[in-house]
Amino acid sequence: MFKKILIANRGEIAVRVIRACHEMGISAVAVYSDVDRASLHVRKADEAYPIGAAAASESYLNIQKILDVASRSGADAIHPGYGFLSENAKFARACSEAGVKFIGPTAATMEAMGSKTRARQAMERAGVAFVPGTSRGLESFEQAEQVASRIGYPVMLKAAAGGGGKGMRLVHAPGELKSALDGARSEAERSFGDSEVYIEKAIINPRHIEMQLLADEHGNTVYLGERECSLQRRHQKVIEEAPSPIVDADMRKKMGEVAVRVAQAAGYTNAGTVEFLVDEEKSFYFLEMNTRLQVEHPVTELITGLDLVHLQIRIAAGEVLPFTQGEILIRGHAIECRIYAEDPDNNYFPSPGKITLLLAPSGPGIRRDSGMYEGWSVPMDYDPLLAKLIGYGTTRDQAIGRLTRALNEYFVGGIKTNISLFRRILSDPDFRTAKLDTGFLDRMLTRKTPATPSDSRAVEVAVIAAGIFAVLGSSSAGAGERPLTSESTVGKQNVASNWKITAHKEAMR
Ligand code: MV4
């Protein structure tokens, strides 16, 4: 087993992996950019090394600097987290050449799955259904016209090197095809340096359901159940849940066995996810494979009782999977909210700055994977994901109830967050009856609702009012409560103080 693991990432996922290392008695090495010097993952690591300026290309994407730290620290393995270098075949190869174990699949597997057309060709060989269309790039406009009329409009043009919706064009009629193809090609070239574009039948209002996989290095591959990831805004997941409300045991078995076939066809090892599009008839089609641990892995952990990061580390250390498919049981329901430093009243623009007050939820059925702490300043240089709040229950309704209760306990002062968005989603009738598809969030956000100040503003007003009441309204300050003094005025949020939190609790009752 490894003695020391370098975590080549930052934020909540770096904290998450460090925790797994410590639970396994493994020393954790952090790397950090200049703006991350005081961040939580640096505080929790056993060793921490500066690797450069804030720009990811100077730090978290810099293969040489990360490998230098691996060698200086004597790390046996590297966990890449998600994003950054986690799906970079060049990095995986550089790790193995440096004699450091990359905790993830091989570079060859990453390359095979990294191109959407190469992945579709692998599916063709494995007999796996993918969305009707071509498994190779379009050679000409005439070929695009022929395939489009064969599969029928609307069609979707996609960049082979793309992902996350970039380089995608929905085409409703033949007259639009030429300009859409030219546009998709030039965007693909600009964004990915690869203009290859393929075509698929467009599935209207699909669900995005993904299957978690685990494969050891001895030929054992299992599926751990699916996640419903249809609630996305601009191709960014907002809420994920497991199991999917529309997948029954029979469909789960079918999708799981297909996903295992995909993994075996790709020679996959470690944790991976196969993404499907599911249409209204519940037919499912291979979309793409993700060769990394995903942000939303906690919902699968909660319903299976498995720790995916522990298992990733054990698999990378050469261990055999400690269970068979039949021993994997799914119990209960988990729903995850991605808490972002974004301003819901200003088009969800990032809202960096200092966290001056942090009241975090806990209690029955609540898990919080967080990378923030009170007094920390959220940098503007990276994805503004602050934490993931996961609610677990025996049923979906109980999970919703717990998550709602926890969101009402969550207060992050000093910056804006999207916490109010989740209160809206979880109380939406269509969400509560699981009428979900990839268009759900856009429909909900464009629906007119009475203009209400975002909750954080409302809470701030309540805190101020309660604070004034707490001082002026009561005859004497209670035990441990300091009277209002100049340096602790409420509302300015300059310092967290006992009576302010007391006032906040009053406001939150
Ligand atoms: C599609 C599709 C409909 N039909 N492909 C979006 C990003 C990438 N994961 C694939 N995506 C889609 N591909 C066909 N043939 C609809 C989407 C899509 C989507 C898919 C999953 C989750 C959210 C989405 C939001 C918009 C469009």
Residue 224: partners with Cβ closer than 8 Å, 6 or more residues away = 212, 213, 214, 300, 304, 306, 308, 328
Name which residue sits closest to atom 7 of ligand 1, judged by CA: 165
Name which residue sits closest to atom 14 of ligand 1, judged by CA: 202
Is the per-residue pLDDT at 301 higher than 90?
yes
pLDDT score at 503 = 55
- The structural domain count of the chain equals 5
The pLDDT tens digits for 456-499 are 566 666 766 766 766 666 544 443 334 433 333 333 333 444 54
Ligand 1 mean position, distance from CA 165 (Å): 7
Tokens of 186: 């030039």
pLDDT score at 459 = 62
Q: Nearest Cα to 157, choosing from 146, 173, 144?
A: 144
Closest ligand 1 atom, residue 165 Cα: 7
Q: Are residues 117 and 261 in the same domain?
A: yes
How large is the average pLDDT for residues 211-234?
Answer: 97
**Cβ pair 61, 85 in contact under 8 A:** yes
Helix (H) or strand (E) holding 501: helix 498-508
How large is the average pLDDT for residues 381-402?
Answer: 98
From 410, 445, 480, the end of a domain falls on 445
- Mapping DSSP to helix (H, G, I), strand (E, B) and coil, where does residue 499 land? helix
Q: Which residues are catalytic, by number? A: 292
How large is the average pLDDT for residues 25-31?
Answer: 99
pLDDT score at 348 = 93
Name which residue sits closest to atom 9 of ligand 1, judged by CA: 164
Ligand 1 mean position, distance from CA 261 (Å): 22
Amino acid type, 187: E
Q: Are residues 304 and 438 in the same domain?
A: no
Residues with CB under 6 A from ligand 1: 131, 156, 164-165, 200-203, 206, 208, 232, 235, 277, 287, 438
How large is the average pLDDT for residues 12-25?
Answer: 98
Q: Would the CA dihedral through 192, 312, 334, 509 be positive or negative?
A: negative
How large is the average pLDDT for residues 402-409?
Answer: 98
Closest ligand 1 atom, residue 131 Cα: 15
pLDDT score at 441 = 96
pLDDT score at 481 = 39
Q: Would the CA dihedral through 53, 57, 63, 64 be positive or negative?
A: negative
d(CA 286, CA 17) in angstroms, rounded, equals 29
**Cβ pair 214, 321 in contact under 8 A:** yes
d(CA 220, CA 18) in angstroms, rounded, equals 27
CATH number at residue 54: 3.40.50.20
Tokens of 77: 């393995």
How large is the average pLDDT for residues 415-427?
Answer: 97
d(CA 93, CA 70) in angstroms, rounded, equals 14
How large is the average pLDDT for residues 232-260?
Answer: 96
Q: Are residues 215 and 296 in the same domain?
A: yes
Ligand 1 mean position, distance from CA 139 (Å): 23
Helices (H) and strands (E) in the chain, counts: 17, 22
Percent of the chain residues past pLDDT 70, beyond the cut: 88
- Confidence grade of residue 506 (pLDDT, cut at 50, 70, 90): low
Name which residue sits closest to atom 24 of ligand 1, judged by CA: 438
pLDDT score at 485 = 38
CATH number at residue 196: 3.30.1490.20
Q: Are residues 260 and 390 in the same domain?
A: no
How large is the average pLDDT for residues 216-227?
Answer: 98
| Ligand 1 mutation pick, 113, 155, 156, 170, max ligand atoms within 8 A of CB | 156
- 201 forms bridges with which residues in the sheet? 155
Q: 């309660």: which residue's tokens? A: 466
Is the per-residue pLDDT at 507 higher than 80?
no
pLDDT score at 60 = 98
- Confidence grade of residue 128 (pLDDT, cut at 50, 70, 90): confident
Helices (H), 317-454: 396-409, 419-427, 429-432, 440-446
Is the per-residue pLDDT at 255 higher than 60?
yes
Query: pTM above 0.85?
Result: yes
Ligand 1 mean position, distance from CA 147 (Å): 19
Helix (H) or strand (E) holding 29: strand 27-33
From 168, 201, 234, the end of a domain falls on 201
How large is the average pLDDT for residues 15-27?
Answer: 98
Q: Are residues 79 and 16 in the same domain?
A: yes
How large is the average pLDDT for residues 13-38?
Answer: 98
| Ligand 1 mutation pick, 117, 120, 168, max ligand atoms within 8 A of CB | 168
Q: Are residues 67 and 183 in the same domain?
A: no
Task: Concatenate the DSSP letters of all residues of 341-383 into one string.
Answer: SEETTTTTEE--EE--EEE---STTEEEEE---TTPEEPSSS-
Q: 61-75, 329-343, 438-452: which has the minimum mean pLDDT?
A: 438-452
Is the per-residue pLDDT at 500 higher than 90?
no
From 331, 355, 381, the end of a domain falls on 331
Q: Are residues 215 and 123 in the same domain?
A: yes
Is the per-residue pLDDT at 64 higher than 80?
yes
Is the per-residue pLDDT at 4 higher than 90?
yes
**Cβ pair 378, 384 in contact under 8 A:** yes
pLDDT score at 129 = 86
Ligand 1 mean position, distance from CA 236 (Å): 11
Which residues constitute the domain of residue 367?
Answer: 338-445
Tokens of 419: 């916490």
Q: How many C-beta atoms lie closer than 10 Å to residue 111's C-beta?
A: 16
pLDDT score at 487 = 35
Residue 504: partners with Cβ closer than 8 Å, 6 or more residues away = 357, 359, 411, 459, 462, 463, 466
- Confidence grade of residue 429 (pLDDT, cut at 50, 70, 90): very high
Is the per-residue pLDDT at 61 higher than 70?
yes
Is the per-residue pLDDT at 100 higher than 50?
yes
Q: Are residues 389 and 285 in the same domain?
A: no
How large is the average pLDDT for residues 163-168?
Answer: 79
Closest ligand 1 atom, residue 201 Cα: 15
Q: Are residues 305 and 352 in the same domain?
A: no
Higher-pLDDT residue of 167 and 340 is 340
d(CA 152, CA 173) in angstroms, rounded, equals 9
pLDDT score at 166 = 79
CATH number at residue 417: 3.30.470.20
Q: Are residues 121 and 270 in the same domain?
A: yes
Name which residue sits closest to atom 11 of ligand 1, judged by CA: 165
d(CA 445, CA 333) in angstroms, rounded, equals 25
Closest ligand 1 atom, residue 155 Cα: 15
Name which residue sits closest to atom 23 of ligand 1, judged by CA: 438
**Cβ pair 131, 204 in contact under 8 A:** no
Ligand 1 mean position, distance from CA 202 (Å): 9
Ligand 1 mean position, distance from CA 200 (Å): 11
- Confidence grade of residue 233 (pLDDT, cut at 50, 70, 90): very high
State the chain's mean pLDDT as an integer: 91
Q: Would the CA dihedral through 68, 370, 423, 299 be positive or negative?
A: positive
d(CA 423, CA 233) in angstroms, rounded, equals 16
Name which residue sits closest to atom 12 of ligand 1, judged by CA: 165
Q: Are residues 170 and 230 in the same domain?
A: no
Tokens of 475: 């005859």
| Ligand 1 mutation pick, 147, 155, 277, 296, max ligand atoms within 8 A of CB | 277
Q: Are residues 209 and 120 in the same domain?
A: yes
